[in-house]
Each structure stands twice: as structure tokens, then as C-alpha cells.
């Protein structure tokens, strides 16, 4: 029997408390002497009163109503939901990291600066870039930082007419949104029959108003852009720069580097490729790396080293400034650093090897039952089109719900936009062959169910803690907070 979970606000009782504090040991004065009377709060806080046990049980029950990588297979395309090593959580929580204040004097934070410095060296080697900033807090934040750097570069050369950024139709939604945020116009480039960026269309679109081309390689179709060198030449010849969206770097670690492909700016999603957890929607971290000619524009501070001493380097007169109040999501960078140290060069390359092998293997199992457009050797992900199933009465979204009933997190649905009824599937490096076989079997069973009773499939899921949720109603009649009745 399904049952809604009570809200915090429907629990507790006046007089309960879930904390203990020492009493105030300084001489006290009346509050209205210490604060201006007219700026005092007039109504008491409405927040509920709960005992510690109630708080723990509430959130523990909520956690059981949630699916994570530790729960099961999570092939969410372009999100690289790989296993999050437990030891990383432990080292990031060390008081010598987690309890540091960002304004502490430099000589009291030498370990943290050393970690940032080392991490920068590792990321440079991984990507073939000259320098990195760790300030961006997520991939999209990295994109914005990267475009700001590109913008500063053009502006500094008095090249003011470059007001357009080119992006392929397969790009993540954050790309065009970032372009607008940076004050640019989006020019969309179509794909060709093989799933590559249409080179002829790119050549047509590039001109002296092109600021940059933003590209994910391999693309969201899981395909490596075979003409990348020529694309880079075309954009560079026109005076534009190349931006690499690192969402899909998990496919090529140790095999190819964006820096060697001609990219000028790179962001990494270390909460994807480098194993740090997604936290239900962050915190992530999106370090940005640049080639030498763009180093002067990086956000301040960078971390430098003189002898054995590490220091904050604010000496970048052309810097774009800051994109974060402090130095980015340090707590996340620690986890990725530990991952890189434990994997080493060989381990990282093996991770990419297995990610690509798993993807090609699962695709070859699924294509017995499903239609997979752009069928060629792929990298870490592939896109199933459930267009034929949709015609029978159950599309990509319905297949996703049927997967929930079978204990799997579904792929990314309805994306990329150029594939109808898309199921963007990314089985990463930390999954076993048995898991992939079980998933393929589940997908085959769902296809059979659709053949037999598509309507039933379209009304699922049946075994989750709530049934299919009415998203339309949530938009038409928005209830965005609890209110006292």
C-alpha cells in the first residue's frame, strides 16, 4: 500500500527540542538594546519543534525513498554515474580540510594549497592544457567562466564584433543557456548523417563574428567527432576559439586530450569523470583549463609555488576577476584528487577503456530489440530511439518508468533532441557484465510488455513508493512550499 510521507511541518510538538547548547556565559543585555527596535523580528519562526529521534527517523525514511548509485545501476546519459569511492568521503571530512576558514593566513593553509597545486598538475596532464582554475562550482559554472575568459581575450585584442557562439544541436542545454548568460548569441550547427557536426554547415557559419565553438567530444550521441582537427582549423582560421565541454571526458582518459585536439578552453565535471558524488544535484566542481594565451584571463587567485612554499597568486592584471566567493568547491576537489592518486595513469585509462567497452557491449545487446540510430563504434554512451515503441503506445518516458519497476535508474530521456524518443544510456566503468546483462534483459522484457499491453506499460510505474506523478498539475497549480491550513 502506497502512503504519502508526512512533512516535517506535520510532525513534532511544541516544547520538543532536537539540540543541546551550552548556556550563554557572557553578561547579557536586552536584545532591543543591542539591535535597532524597528529591525527586530515581530512574528516567531514557524519552523517545527522536533526531537532528535524524530529528525533522524524522518530523514532516514526519506533516504529510503531515494535511489542512488549505491542502490543500483544508474545509466543516466552524460551524467557519468560511476561508483563514488567511500574513502574519498572520509578524507574530505578530515578536520584539517573541512574545518578550514577561507581567510586564514597563507602559511596556515599550506596543505590545502599543495593539494590544489598538485591537482592542477594532474588535470593539466590529463587534458593537455596550460593552467587550471578550481573556482567554478559545477559544469555550467565552468562553461560561464570559460566563455568569460574567451570574451576577455577578444576584448583585450579590441576585437569587439565577435558576438556569436556556435554550438551543435546535440549540445547539453547548459551550453546555449551559458552563451546567453555571457551576453552572446547562439548559432546552432546541425549534425550530419554519421552523427558528427556537419562540417560544411560549420564552415558556412564561421566568420569574423564567431567568438567560439562549444563542443562536447565525444558528443551526447556517444560519438567521437572524427573531423575534430579540421573543425579546429576552421574555427581558428576565422579567429575564433574552441571550448571543450568536459561532460564526456570519461570516454577518453589516457587515449586523447582536448588540448591536443585544438581546444583552447576546457571544463571538467569532476563530479562525473573523477568519481565525486552528485549529492542529489550538487555540490559538483567544474575546473576550467586554458592554453597559454588565455592564462592571463583566468580568475584570481591561482595557486603558485616558490621553493617549498605555496601561495595565492593574485598577480594577473588581465584576470576576469572572481566567479566564486572564495576558491571553489575545495571539499569536492579533495575527493577527485584522492581518486586520481589512487587510480594512477593506468587506472584512469582502464576506467575509460571499460566505460567504452561497457557502452559498446550494452548497445550490441540492446540493438537486437531496439533501434539505435548512428550505429557505429561509440564511446562511453549511446542513444536508443523508442520511436517504434512510441507508435505502439509506450515511449521513452514510459520505458523509463518500467525500468524503475525493475530496480534500475533509467537513462536520460528525450535528449539529445535530434533523436526522437531518446534514451541516452551511459553504463560507466564501475559496472559489471552481469549488471549490463540484467539491464539488457529488463529492456527486452519491457519491449515484450509493450507488444502485449502498451497501455499498461504507459500507466506505470507500479512498484515505486509513489505512482506516476502528475507533473502537469504541478505546473498548472504550483505549490512550492508548505503552508499552514
Query: Which residue do the cell numbers 511544541 mark?
Result: 14
Query: Which residue do the cell numbers 586530450 mark?
Result: 257
Q: What are phi and psi of 408, to 5 degrees?
A: -110, 145
To the nearest whole angstrom, how small is the minimum distance from the Cβ of residue 190 to other proteins?
15
Distance CA 456, CA 459 (A): 5
Residue 10 or 208: which CB sits closer to other proteins?
10
Kindly identify the residues of this chain, within the stretch 415-454, that bind other proteins according to CB under 8 A. Answer: 415, 429-433
Residue 156 or 391: which CB sits closer to other proteins?
156
Residue 326 or 391: which CB sits closer to other proteins?
326
Residue 225 or 391: which CB sits closer to other proteins?
225
Query: Half-sphere exposure of residue 74, counting CA atoms within 13 Å on the CB side?
Result: 19
240, 246, 284, 416: residue in contact with other proteins (rule CB under 8 A): 284
Residue 127 or 385: which CB sits closer to other proteins?
127
239, 296, 347, 393: residue in contact with other proteins (rule CB under 8 A): 347
Residue 208 or 345: which CB sits closer to other proteins?
345
Pseudo-torsion of CA 312, 313, 319, 320, nearest 10°? 0
Stretch of residues binding other proteins (CB under 8 A), selected from 233-241, 255-263, 419-427, 442-450: 255-263
Distance CA 245, CA 171 (A): 9
Cα–Cα distances (Å) from 297 to 262, 315, 342, in that order, read 19, 11, 32
Q: Which residues pair with 312 in a beta bridge?
A: 303
Kindly identify the residues of this chain, within the stretch 6-45, that bind other proteins according to CB under 8 A. Answer: 7-9, 12, 16-19, 21-22, 24-29, 31, 34-36, 38-45
* CA pseudo-torsion sign 225, 281, 137, 274: negative
Q: Are 175 and 139 in contact (CB under 8 A)?
A: no
Stretch of residues binding other proteins (CB under 8 A), selected from 199-207, 226-234, 290-298, 449-457: 226-234
Kindly identify the residues of this chain, within the stretch 290-329, that bind other proteins according to CB under 8 A. Answer: 320-329
* Interacting residues of 15 by C-beta distance below 8 A, sequence separation 6+: 49
To the nearest whole angstrom, how small is the minimum distance from the Cβ of residue 210 to other proteins?
16
Residue 326 or 441: which CB sits closer to other proteins?
326
- Grid cell at residue 298: 583566468
75, 85, 168, 240: residue in contact with other proteins (rule CB under 8 A): 85
Q: Are 77 and 383 in contact (CB under 8 A)?
A: yes
To the nearest whole angstrom, how small is the minimum distance from the Cβ of residue 451 to other proteins?
23
Distance CA 71, CA 66 (A): 9
156, 233, 237, 364: residue in contact with other proteins (rule CB under 8 A): 364
**Cis peptide upstream of residue 283 (ω within 30 degrees of 0):** yes
Distance CA 149, CA 129 (A): 14
170, 248, 250, 358: residue in contact with other proteins (rule CB under 8 A): 358
239, 305, 313, 464: residue in contact with other proteins (rule CB under 8 A): 464
474 in contact with other proteins (CB under 8 A): yes
To the nearest whole angstrom, how small is the minimum distance from the Cβ of residue 419 to other proteins?
15
Cα–Cα distances (Å) from 421 to 134, 440, 442, in that order, read 37, 18, 18
Query: Half-sphere exposure of residue 310, counting CA atoms within 13 Å on the CB side?
Result: 15
To the nearest whole angstrom, how small is the minimum distance from the Cβ of residue 12 to other proteins?
8
Q: Are 296 and 318 in contact (CB under 8 A)?
A: yes
Q: Taking Cα atoms as reference points, which of 180, 154, 152 lies closest to residue 165? A: 180
CA angle 233, 239, 245 (to 5 degrees): 65
Size of the residue set binding other proteins (CB under 8 A): 204
To the nearest whole angstrom, how small is the minimum distance from the Cβ of residue 35 to other proteins?
5
Kindly identify the residues of this chain, within the stretch 114-153, that bind other proteins according to CB under 8 A. Answer: 114-115, 122, 125-126, 137-141, 143-144, 147-148, 151
Residue 96 or 452: which CB sits closer to other proteins?
96
* Interacting residues of 27 by C-beta distance below 8 A, sequence separation 6+: none
Residue 94 or 161: which CB sits closer to other proteins?
94
265, 340, 394, 399: residue in contact with other proteins (rule CB under 8 A): 340
To the nearest whole angstrom, how small is the minimum distance from the Cβ of residue 384 to other proteins?
16
* Interacting residues of 354 by C-beta distance below 8 A, sequence separation 6+: 429
To the nearest whole angstrom, how small is the minimum distance from the Cβ of residue 72 to other proteins?
10
To the nearest whole angstrom, how small is the minimum distance from the Cβ of residue 216 to other proteins?
14
Stretch of residues binding other proteins (CB under 8 A), selected from 207-215, 290-298, 384-392, 401-409: 401-409
To the nearest whole angstrom, how small is the minimum distance from the Cβ of residue 75 to other proteins?
11
Site string for other proteins, 179-208 (x = CB under 8 A): xxxxx--x----------------------
Q: Which residues pair with 289 in a beta bridge?
A: 132, 266
SS3 label, residue 202: helix
209, 361, 369, 444: residue in contact with other proteins (rule CB under 8 A): 361
User: How many residues are given for the chain?
Assistant: 485
Please tell me what DSSP assigns to residue 378.
Answer: -
Amino acid at each position: 500500500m502506497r502512503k504519502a510521507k508526512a512533512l516535517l511541518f506535520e510532525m513534532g510538538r511544541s516544547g520538543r527540542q532536537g539540540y543541546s547548547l551550552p548556556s550563554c556565559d557572557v553578561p547579557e543585555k536586552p536584545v532591543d538594546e543591542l539591535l535597532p527596535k524597528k529591525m527586530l523580528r515581530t512574528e516567531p519562526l514557524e519552523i517545527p519543534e522536533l526531537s532528535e529521534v524524530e529528525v533522524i527517523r524522518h530523514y532516514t525514511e526519506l533516504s529510503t525513498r531515494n535511489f542512488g548509485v549505491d542502490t543500483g545501476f544508474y545509466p543516466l546519459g552524460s551524467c557519468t554515474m560511476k561508483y563514488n569511492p567511500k574513502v574519498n568521503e572520509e578524507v574530505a571530512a578530515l578536520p584539517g580540510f573541512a574545518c578550514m576558514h577561507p581567510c586564514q593566513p597563507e602559511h596556515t593553509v599550506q596543505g590545502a594549497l599543495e593539494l590544489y597545486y598538485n591537482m592542477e598538475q594532474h588535470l593539466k596532464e590529463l587534458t593537455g592544457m596550460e593552467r587550471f582554475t578550481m573556482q567554478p562550482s559545477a559544469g555550467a559554472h565552468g562553461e560561464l567562466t570559460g566563455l568569460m575568459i574567451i570574451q576577455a581575450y577578444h576584448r583585450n585584442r579590441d576585437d569587439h564584433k565577435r558576438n556569436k557562439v556556435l554550438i551543435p544541436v546535440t549540445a547539453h542545454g547548459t551550453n546555449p543557456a551559458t552563451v546567453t548568460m555571457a551576453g552572446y548569441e547562439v548559432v546552432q550547427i546541425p549534425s550530419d548523417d554519421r552523427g558528427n557536426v556537419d562540417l560544411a554547415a560549420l564552415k558556412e557559419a564561421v566568420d569574423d563574428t564567431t567568438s567560439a565553438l562549444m563542443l562536447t567530444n565525444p558528443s551526447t550521441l556517444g560519438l567521437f567527432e572524427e573531423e575534430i582537427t579540421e573543425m579546429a582549423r576552421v574555427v581558428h582560421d576565422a579567429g575564433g576559439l574552441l571550448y571543450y565541454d568536459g561532460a564526456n571526458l570519461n570516454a577518453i582518459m589516457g587515449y586523447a586530450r582536448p588540448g591536443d585536439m585544438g581546444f583552447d578552453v576546457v571544463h571538467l565535471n569532476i563530479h562525473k569523470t573523477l568519481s565525486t558524488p552528485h549529492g542529489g544535484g550538487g555540490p559538483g566542481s567544474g575546473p576550467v583549463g586554458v592554453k597559454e594565451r588565455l592564462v592571463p584571463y583566468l580568475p584570481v587567485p591561482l595557486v603558485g609555488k616558490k621553493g617549498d612554499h605555496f601561495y595565492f597568486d593574485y598577480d594577473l592584471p588581465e584576470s576576469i576577476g572572481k566567479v566564486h566567493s572564495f576558491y571553489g568547491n575545495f571539499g569536492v576537489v579533495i575527493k577527485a584528487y584522492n581518486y586520481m592518486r589512487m587510480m594512477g595513469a593506468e587506472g584512469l585509462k582502464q576506467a575509460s577503456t571499460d566505460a567504452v567497452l561497457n557502452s559498446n557491449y550494452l548497445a550490441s545487446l540492446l540493438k537486437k530489440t531496439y533501434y539505435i540510430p548512428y550505429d557505429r563504434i561509440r564511446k562511453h554512451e549511446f542513444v536508443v530511439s523508442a520511436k517504434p515503441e512510441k507508435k505502439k503506445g509506450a515511449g521513452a518516458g514510459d520505458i523509463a518508468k518500467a525500468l524503475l519497476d525493475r530496480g534500475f535508474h533509467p537513462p536520460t530521456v528525450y535528449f539529445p533532441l535530434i533523436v526522437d524518443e531518446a534514451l541516452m544510456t551511459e553504463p560507466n566503468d564501475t559496472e559489471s557484465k552481469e549488471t549490463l546483462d540484467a539491464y539488457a534483459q529488463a529492456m527486452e522484457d519491457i519491449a515484450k510488455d509493450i507488444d502485449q499491453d502498451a497501455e499498461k506499460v504507459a500507466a506505470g510505474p507500479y512498484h515505486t513508493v509513489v505512482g506516476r506523478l502528475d507533473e502537469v498539475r504541478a505546473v498548472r497549480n504550483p505549490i512550492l512550499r508548505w503552508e499552514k491550513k
